[in-house]
Amino acid sequence: MTAAARTKSWNRLAAVERLRAETFDVLVVGGGITGAGVARDAALRGLTVALVEAGDWAAGTSSRTTKLAHGGLRYLEQLDFGLVRTALAERAVLLSIAPHLTRAAPFLLPLYTGRSMPAWELEAGLWLYDALAGAHRLGRHRVLDTGAAFEREPELSPAGLRGAGLYWDARVLDARLVIETIADARRAGAVAVSYCSVEDLERWRGGWAAEVHDRRSGDAFTLRAGSCVAAVGPWSDRLRRRVAPAREPLLSPTRGVHCVVHHSRLPLRDPTALFARDRRIYFAVPDGAWTYIGTTDTDMGGDVSDLSAPEPDVRYLVEATGDALARPIGIGDVVGAWAGWRPLVRASRRKDPGAISRDDVIERTAPGFITVAGGKLTTYRAMAEEAVDRLVEEAGLESGPCITARRPLVPAGLGGEGPAPASDPEAVARARSLFGPDADDVFARWRDDPASAEPLGADFPYTAAEVGRAAREMVETLDDLVDRRLLALPGGVPIARDTLGRIADAAAPELGWSPGRQSMEIAAFRTGADRWPARADAGRSRTHAGV
Ligand SMILES: Cc1cc2nc3c(=O)[nH]c(=O)nc-3n(C[C@H](O)[C@H](O)[C@H](O)COP(=O)(O)OP(=O)(O)OC[C@H]3O[C@@H](n4cnc5c(N)ncnc54)[C@H](O)[C@@H]3O)c2cc1C
């Protein structure tokens, strides 16, 4: 199969028609990383799978992460070694099945008097972190004295600096991991449709009938399946109430905020783990033209569908970072911000015997109905494997073994890495990391049509060929394309209207957008996306898909 055949345009109408007409072994609700992982696993085991998502793929929590595939140093402080070991093993799986999306990197952890642990404790922690990784260790940690820490990172504030740890972890393109997981689920036969929310569920002939609202057409229809997995992240209790109204809630979600500054304002060399005044660890991560900082972790209640980043949370990050780094940054430097809700499992539910760790929960909510929630992006695959095991047993389904730990996300043999054209090496590297072997499509177009290799704007280095390639990935809106296919403007950093026009032009042939539709998409992008700072006229407080 050629790369072009593998990525052919998305026929949403045909997929919706199949959802209406067929009966599936399993309905997976929720198109974040958990639902994507469950759908891929189940489809690869030979089950017939329908996957529906209320908004765009990954738009809930899974595109709003710190973009780390990590064991979680902070779990060591909580002595949760099992969780760290599982996450480090899954980090290795990600690096092997999705090498273009996951990248090993050195991380710096500076120590400051009064705000962080003593050096011996850091050294012991990093030693343990490497030991728990075992054969999956990415590099040996080092503990740097103050001079060496400065040499490594001249941006550190000298006041109170006592040295630093340097350790290895990985970075991951979060939303692309979701998109490519769903693409592989579709290759294995799953029918996946975004902008379709499950409004209600009822028992049907031993299985489940879901009332689905198609948010693009406004139509409602019934989707039938022998069993159901709810993978709706922070929305789990909302959906679960439809099925088991008397049960205690599973989650107490907390909000996490990140903010973005120009890289020139915070020109860090490595991702850097920092301690806030309250000793919480958060990260400052250099990312091309930007450095992003986060996350907060606030437990103030609120609506999980409200994805706006509150200004006090952004201030907290800016002030904490100003304490640790030499260059003063202020709230005025912030050009973007994003927020997401951690699907945190309630303390009382953590001992659920089915959970692979106390960090997630896999619950039999009703006959043939499994709820899976919590965990991390890093551990999604292990969680999905266990959820499908439970489902197969619960619903008495016949299925093959789980193969997701060894099957590459973009299967070998489907396309080769063709020679890259002699273009800008940064653009070549970007296309490879976004599309893996499918970057061949982009390179071929650059060769055939040199204009398609030009950056679309001073504020948008991506080219028409990349936009065209990404537009084939189940895109419905300009926001889907820019935010979650290209990961181009983190936290909604500003972009000129003219540039948006060129992006829409480049996407239009793939998406069949008329000039009128393009204008509509541009207007929706400018008013609907997370903009920073808040514009009173722009309706910035973004509500996710209304679920
Ligand atoms: C700020 C922050 C930073 C994080 N950083 C990291 C990190 O660096 N590394 C890491 O490993 N983990 C990280 N995590 C954790 C990780 O992001 C989550 O564990 C993971 O994304 C959860 O995925 P999910 O699929 O369960 O939920 P989601 O991604 O929220 O997906 C659930 C989906 O269900 C959909 N949905 C809801 N109701 C319905 C319905 N009725 N019908 C249809 N669809 C519905 C929603 O629209 C949503 O898209 C972070 C989390 C946060 C909040």
- pLDDT tens digit sequence for 494-532: 999 999 999 999 999 999 999 999 999 999 998 865 556
Burial of 546 (0-12, 13-18, 19+ CB in 10 A): exposed
Average pLDDT over residues 177-201: 98
Closest CA to 183 of 36, 62, 13, 381: 36
Q: How much of the chain exceeds pLDDT 70, in percent?
A: 91
Ligand 1 pocket mutation pick from 28, 232, 479 by most atoms within 8 angstroms of CB: 232
Grouping H, G, I as helix, E, B as strand and the rest as coil, residue 503 is helix
The answer to whether 428 and 462 are in contact (CB under 8 A) is: no
Task: Report whether pLDDT(189) > 50.
Answer: yes
186: which 2 tokens? 């579709």
pLDDT value of residue 7 = 41
**476 Cα to the center of ligand 1, angstroms:** 20
Which two three-digit tokens encode residue 440? 């061949």
Residue found by looking up tokens 């949760």 in the block: 80
Judge whether residue 8 has pLDDT over 70.
no
More confident residue, 348 or 216: 216
pLDDT computed for residue 457 by the predictor:
96
| Ligand 1 binding residues, C-beta < 6 A | 29-35, 52-55, 59-62, 64-68, 197-198, 231-235, 239, 256, 295, 340-343, 373, 375-378, 544-545, 547
CA 30 – ligand 1 centroid, Å: 9
What are the residues whose beta carbons fall under 8 Å from the beta carbon of 532, sequence distance 6 or more? 259, 260, 309, 314, 334, 335, 336, 337, 491, 492, 493, 540
- Top pLDDT among 419 and 539 is at 419
pLDDT tens digits along 259-303: 999 999 999 999 999 988 778 889 999 999 999 999 998 887 789
Cβ-contact 293, 133 below 8 angstroms: no
Which of 133-147, 275-289, 335-349 has the largest mean confidence? 133-147
Residue with tokens 């709230």: 331
Cα 55 to ligand 1 centroid, rounded to whole Å:
12
**pLDDT greater than 90 at residue 20:** yes
Average pLDDT score over residue span 302-308: 88
Residue nearest to atom 50 of ligand 1 (CA): 65
Sign of CA dihedral 302, 307, 311, 317: positive
Residue pair 286/517 in contact (Cβ under 8 Å)? The answer is: no
Cα 468 to ligand 1 centre (Å): 27
Q: What is the pLDDT of residue 98?
A: 97
Q: What CA–CA distance (Å, rounded) separates 369 from 390?
A: 10
Q: Give the model confidence (pLDDT) of 43-91 as tens digits.
A: 999 999 999 999 999 999 999 999 999 998 888 877 889 899 999 999 9
Is the alpha carbon torsion for 507, 97, 3, 460 positive or negative? positive
Structure-token pair, residue 402: 């789980």
CA distance 420 to 428: 7
**180 CA distance to ligand 1 middle (Å):** 16
257 bridge partner residues:
339
DSSP per residue, 166-230: EEEEEEE-HHHHHHHHHHHHHHTT-EEESSEEEEEEEEETTEEEEEEEETTT--EEEEEEEEEEE
Nearest CA to ligand 1 atom 18: 376
Assess contact for 164 and 153: CB atoms under 8 A.
yes
Residue-averaged pLDDT of the chain: 90
**pLDDT confidence of 221, banded at 50, 70, 90?**
very high
Return d(Cα 89, Cα 136) in angstroms, integer: 7
- Cα–Cα separations (whole angstroms), residue 3 to 89, 183, 462: 30, 13, 20
